[in-house]
Structure 1
Amino acid sequence: MELFDRQKDSVGQGEKTLLVYVELPSNRHIHNGLDEFLELANSSGLDVVQALKVNRNTATAQYFIGSGKVDEIAELVKEHEIDLVIFAPELTPSQERNLEKKLNCQVMDRTGLILDIFALRAQSFEGKLQVELAQLRHLSTRLVRGWTHLERQKGGIGLRGPGETQLETDKRLIAVRIKNITKRLDKVHKQRDLGRKSRVKSELPMIALAGYTNAGKSTLFNALTKAEVFADDRLFATLDSTIRRVILPASGEAVIADTVGFIQDLPHELVAAFKSTLEETRRANVLLHVVDASDEYNLEKIDQVEDIINEIDANKIPSILVMNKIDRLENFKPRIDRDKDGRIYRVWISAQNGDGIDLLYQTLAEQLSGMMTRAKIQLDVNAAYIRSEIHNIGYIHNEKVDDFGQWILEINVTNHYLSKLLHKQGVKLLWEQKPQQR
């Protein structure tokens, strides 16, 4: 058992916490598991006193780890007056109950920790409902422990956020609350579906950002949309999905969706609760898989994200790897990587300082070309102002003025934008070339 002292660099102000990371054959390939576990705990505001790494070949039914290790942990709990012990990976309800009796303090697992972080970060009405639903589903499996420990904690780690008062009720009320939340979410989801259908009807291209938590999705979202979505260098800084309509150079109008970040072994309760939010990813025309290029373990994280993309049935959507944060790499220039058929599969950028964003625009223009229409239009003298509008968007291939002072423009636009353009006074369609199906 390895012991890591975190008393000096701990920044949390919450419960005094001991972390126990159990390395099994099933997770031995994850090289940064303990570091990520520590980062999760710090993201929740805990005061991490120490972290233990325990190597085992199999988990025991009673404590998950051996009874000898449990005795050692009990001594540390007593010595440092620990309030909370968190285990990774996931514990069964009986293991959690047995450990609480043995250690005489609250015990939870990594799933409960992630749920707590989500409870802290949820801001929207839908997000709070989704988190509460996930919390209640998770805790309903732990009702065998009784409610005394919940009353004792008074809304501490794992119990704060949406649904806190409901956790002090009995199993029947928990079931009623789950049913009520599900009904309310159904209404929210119907409203979201209406908005989604409206975007589909308008033929606006849909671009979804996906990726491991803290890969820089929100920073990229802000760079592309000029929005001010909260972005921070910590796990799950963004929880609520955000959708913006934008105008992209050489692509025109599009919709960009920023979704919740993924993490290894994302709790199934959260995947289920956020199914509707992740639906934006499934409906996208292009999926930008954002990766932290400076992370030495990014290949493992790419695999983790792709597993979840498969789980939500979004694996058939054209996907581009966006290798972000190249500003953290030494002497690295933005570039586009193409496969043997000449198709772009990866682009290297820095969303923070804007390096390579032009290459990303080029990538999106190629990916969305199947939704674009090439057309020649005529602008009357009184409609010449529209020319500057089109120029700002940047899809004019050729332009000239005829003998009558009318502008003749050859443009490449989305079906949606062309339809809007032709409804304006003084605009006439000369010819249109429908997009080729890809």
Structure 2
Amino acid sequence: MTDTTSHSTGDEAVDRVLANAEKRTEARVFGAAQALQDRSTASHATSDGDQWDLEDRHALRRVGGLSTELEDVTEVEYRQLRLENVVLVGVYPQGTQEDAENSLRELAALAETAGAVVLDGVLQRRPHPDAATYIGRGKAQELKDIVAATGADTVIADTELAPSQRRALEDVVKVKVIDRTTVILDIFSQHAKSREGKAQVELAQLEYLLPRLRGWGDSMSRQAGGQVGAGGAGMGSRGPGETKIELDRRRIRTKMALLRKQIRDFGPAREAKRAERKRNTIPSVAIAGYTNAGKSSLLNALTSAGVLVENALFATLDATVRRSETSDGRVYTLTDTVGFVRNLPHQLVEAFRSTLEEVGDADVVLHVVDGSHPDPAGQLQTVRDVMGDVGVRDMPELVVFNKADLIDDGDRLVLQGLEPKAHFVSSRSGEGVEELRAAIEEALPKPAVEVHAVVPYDRGDLVAAIHETGMLLSVEHSEDGTVVHARVSERLAADLAPFAAA
């Protein structure tokens, strides 16, 4: 009887403790939500002069529609997925709230691609980010309440944080804090497949990590000389004088030098392939554009290349070259390149400069834009800015608004006003693909030299070369050989010179 009574009393105590914990959690969540509500609904007097709106300054605006938390899944299945739960935070000093929300939605897509679940996202409007905690000490406390209420384990900032800002914000919110650059580098490291791509990503990661190394007290030290009475470790402890963090930095610099050498060593092979295409005067078309704009899908639609297509950001990191032919038999190459994104880390621009050179050496750039994106003008400008950074300017450009099956008539008019000569294409339905292929043929450079020749029948290799690299205007067969009228490269014209028609 006594055992039964004590057992029931223990159960009641456990139930009481759990009930109190639930009440405290509900009170904390309700208090955080009520605090946000009171600030957003508070009325203020009209300010005189050109000043920041008090509501904008005093409130973190919650951006709707960002939560991608899984539904209809058991707790066991959820634990098996092991996804990070993240809250996004952004500061916008200028521009419209819509632009800031688009940027935060893009960060949400980046986080999902990296393997996270976005639980919430907040924005703050202020003249400039806080030098200490990015959003200010008070707003950091509010963010801490949001993190606790949602159960998030990571906060992602929509910019590149200084090392001191990241540490200070972590000290307040008590969970891991990372920035936009870290997420992009993580995606690149997951998607890199070739040796060159992996080396480029690792170099960019190390360049980002180097100034952000942290030491953790005396246990990390490798120098401990001095007198015992003066706080030193005494005899036998005087080492070479290099701390653990200094050792790590030296190792990272050594590894970075090795990676730079590896990337340089990849250059000759790429240059040899490029020189071979130039020697054979094979024109090239580079497909460039914003990430997830549908570049790989368009390459598949144009050439049946079978390249990986995925509804994810940065699914393509390694340049893919495929061969195609014009309707008159001319051969040209199509190159699928890495996509761009706003605020692309400069470490990645530098690391992928060799890959982006494919765009610079192309005869025509196929600039692909996601026509269904909320900010296509921003995509266009971002890609052109990055291409300018790597020295690709004044290139023949064909603008393509992809995903035309998702664009209504009103949006088409807006996009036509943005780029009057643009082509509307749907890689999924095939709309506009043939028209785009014809536009590419028209934009490709024509062979320089016009020739009339009678090629002997035992020199069929020359006729084949005309078919492959030149433009055959007319062909007839006579007793003396094949009579051709064509436009060819200077190199092939020299080979045909002995057979020039009188």
TM bracket, shorter-chain basis? 0.7 to 0.9
Q: Which residue of 1 aligns with 2:20?
A: none
Q: Is the Cα contact below 8 Å between 1:93 and 1:144 reproduced in 2?
A: no
- Return the letter of the residue paired with 1:398: S
Q: Which residue of 1 aligns with 2:86?
A: 17
Where 2:395 maps in the other structure, the secondary structure is coil
* From 194, 199, 203, the counterpart of 2:277: 199
Q: Which residue of 2 aligns with 1:70?
A: 140
Q: Report the Cα offset of residue 42 of structure 1.
A: 0.8
Q: Report the Cα offset of residue 271 of structure 1.
A: 0.2
Q: Deviations over 1:260-314 (max 9, x none)?
A: 0011111101001001110111111111111122324111110111111111110
- Structure 1: distance between partners of 2:161 and 2:407: 39
Q: Which residue of 2 aligns with 1:110?
A: 180
- Structure 2: distance between partners of 1:46 and 1:319: 36
Change (3 A) 1:383 1:147: farther
Q: Which residue of 1 aligns with 2:346?
A: 268
Pairing 1:368–2:444 present:
yes
- Structure 1: distance between partners of 2:90 and 2:253: 32
Alignment of 1:17-166 (within 5 A): 17-25=86-94, 30=99, 32-144=102-214
Change (3 A) 1:409 1:200: closer
Q: Is the Cα contact below 8 Å between 1:6 and 1:51 reproduced in 2?
A: no
Alignment of 1:236-255 (within 5 A): 236-250=314-328, 252-255=330-333
Q: Deviations over 1:378-436 (max 9, x none)?
A: 4666788998998899954334444x3955343445567x579969xxx95548xxxxx
- Structure 2: distance between partners of 1:240 and 1:212: 15
Q: Report the Cα offset of residue 222 of structure 1.
A: 1.9
Q: Which residue of 2 aligns with 1:320?
A: 398
- Structure 2: distance between partners of 1:408 and 1:356: 37
In terms of Rg, which structure is larger?
Answer: 2
Q: Is the Cα contact below 8 Å between 1:97 and 1:145 reproduced in 2?
A: no
- Structure 2: distance between partners of 1:58 and 1:100: 20
Q: Which residue of 2 aligns with 1:186?
A: 264
- Structure 2: distance between partners of 1:262 and 1:351: 20
Q: Deviations over 1:98-154 (max 9, x none)?
A: 111222221110011111111111111111111111111011121146599xxxxxx
Q: Is the Cα contact below 8 Å between 1:21 and 1:89 reproduced in 2?
A: yes
- Return the letter of the residue paired with 1:121: H
Where 1:50 maps in the other structure, the secondary structure is strand
| Structure of greater relative contact order (alpha carbons < 8 Å, 6+ residues apart) | 1
Where 2:344 maps in the other structure, the secondary structure is coil
Change (3 A) 1:373 1:175: same
Q: Report the Cα offset of residue 62 of structure 1.
A: 0.7
Where 2:281 maps in the other structure, the secondary structure is coil
- Structure 2: distance between partners of 1:419 and 1:245: 23
Pairing 1:352–2:421 present:
no
- Structure 1: distance between partners of 2:98 and 2:133: 23
Structure having the larger proportion of residues in strand: 1
Q: Is the Cα contact below 8 Å between 1:249 and 1:393 reproduced in 2?
A: no
Q: Is the Cα contact below 8 Å between 1:397 and 1:410 reproduced in 2?
A: yes
Q: Report the Cα offset of residue 256 of structure 1.
A: 2.1
Structure having the larger proportion of residues in helix: 2
- Structure 2: distance between partners of 1:147 and 1:112: 25
Normalised by the size of structure 2, how large is the TM-score? 0.71
- Return the letter of the residue paired with 1:293: G
Where 2:129 maps in the other structure, the secondary structure is coil
Q: Which residue of 2 aligns with 1:231?
A: 309
Q: Report the Cα offset of residue 345 of structure 1.
A: 4.8
- Structure 1: distance between partners of 2:489 and 2:473: 14
Q: Which residue of 1 aligns with 2:296?
A: 218
- Structure 2: distance between partners of 1:270 and 1:397: 46
Q: Report the Cα offset of residue 55 of structure 1.
A: 2.0
Structure 2, unpaired ranges of 5+:
1-59, 71-80, 219-244
- Structure 1: distance between partners of 2:453 and 2:217: 71
- Return the letter of the residue paired with 1:221: L
- Structure 2: distance between partners of 1:207 and 1:283: 9
Q: Which residue of 2 aligns with 1:174?
A: 252
Q: Which residue of 1 aligns with 2:5?
A: none
- Return the letter of the residue paired with 2:315: A
Normalised by the size of structure 1, how large is the TM-score? 0.80
- Structure 1: distance between partners of 2:326 and 2:279: 20
Q: Deviations over 1:211-230 (max 9, x none)?
A: 11111111122223321111
Where 2:372 maps in the other structure, the secondary structure is coil
Q: Is the Cα contact below 8 Å between 2:453 and 2:484 reproduced in 1?
A: yes
Where 1:91 maps in the other structure, the secondary structure is coil
- Structure 1: distance between partners of 2:485 and 2:431: 30
Change (3 A) 1:375 1:294: farther
Change (3 A) 1:371 1:286: farther
Change (3 A) 1:139 1:251: farther
Q: Is the Cα contact below 8 Å between 2:284 and 2:363 reproduced in 1?
A: yes
**Percent pairwise identity:** 33
Structure 1, unpaired ranges of 5+:
149-166, 339-343, 432-438
- CA-based RMSD: 3.6
- Return the letter of the residue paired with 1:270: L
Count of residues in Structure 1 that have an aligned counterpart in Structure 2:
401
- Structure 2: distance between partners of 1:33 and 1:397: 51
- Return the letter of the residue paired with 2:188: F
- Structure 1: distance between partners of 2:459 and 2:446: 29
